Amino acid sequence: MTGASRGIGRAIARAFAEKGDRVAVHYASKREDAERTLAGLPGSGHGLVQGDLSDPEVAQRVADEAESAVDGVDVLVNNAAFAPSAASAHPVAEVSYADWQRIWRRMVDVNVLGTANVTYCVARHMIERGVPGRVVNIGSRGAFKGEPEFPAYGASKAALHSLGQSLAVALAPHGIAVTSVAPGFTATDRVATKLEGASGEVLRGQSPFGRVGTPEEVAAAVLYLASGEAAWASGAILDLNGASHLRM
C-alpha cells in the first residue's frame, strides 16, 4: 500500500486489515503519520516501509521490503503521489519556466515513473511466486476533466490510467489483474480547509448529491477491485466522483 500515511491511503490500508489481510504501509517521509496508520490497523503482521519512489533504486528496495514484511505481496495499491497544493500550482500563464519544469519533473517522477517501477518490481515477485495478484492504481477525475491549475497532475494521472491498461493486458497471462480508480474531490485532512466557506459550497455543488466523496468510499471500491470476484474487471478505470464528471 503505497502512500498510506494519511487520507485515502490510510482508509484503504485499514479496509484491507479489517478483512484480515496483512498490510505493508509505505510512506515517503512522514514517519509519525505512517506509525499512526499502522497503530490503527486491526490484526497483526503489518509492517512499515519507507522510501521516495522517485528514485528507481529506492522503489525496488521498497518493493523487496514489502514482499518480506508481509511474506509475499498479493495486492499492490498504488496511491503514493505528489499531490496538488498551493505550493505545487503551476498555471501556464502565471508560473515561471523554472518552476514549471521543477513541478512537472517531480510529479512525473513520483506519480508515473515511481508507480511504474514499484509495479514492475512487485509484479515480478508475483510472477516468480506463481500466484495470482491484483494491482489497483489510484488515479483521478482530473485525468479526464482537466486540471488547469495543476496540468502536470492531470497528465500524470492520465498516464497512470494508460499504464494500468497496458499492464492489464501484459500481466493477464500471469493471473494478475490491473485496474484503476478515478476519484473526484475527496474529503481528506489535507484538503479540509478547501471545504470551508464558499469554496466548500462550490466543491460540494459539483456533484448532484451535494457533497464530496470520502476516503472510505474509495477504499470500498479498491477492496472490490482487489478481490477475486473482480478479475474480469482488469483494464477498467472506475469513475468514483458522484456524477460530478461524466464521460462516454
**Can you count the helices (H) and strands (E) in the chain?**
9, 6
- Which grid cell sits at 216? 472510505
| DSSP code string of 83-99 | ---GGG---TTTS-HHH
CA angle 88, 35, 42 (to 5 degrees): 120
Residue 153 is among the residues annotated as catalytic for this protein: yes
**Rg, C-alpha atoms of the chain:** 17
* Short-list 24, 111, 128, CA closest to 76: 24
- Which grid cell sits at 183? 476519484
**Active-site residue identified among 27, 97, 120, 153:** 153
Q: Helix 115-129 and helix 56-69: axis angle, to 10°?
A: 40
List, by residue number, the catalytic residues: 153
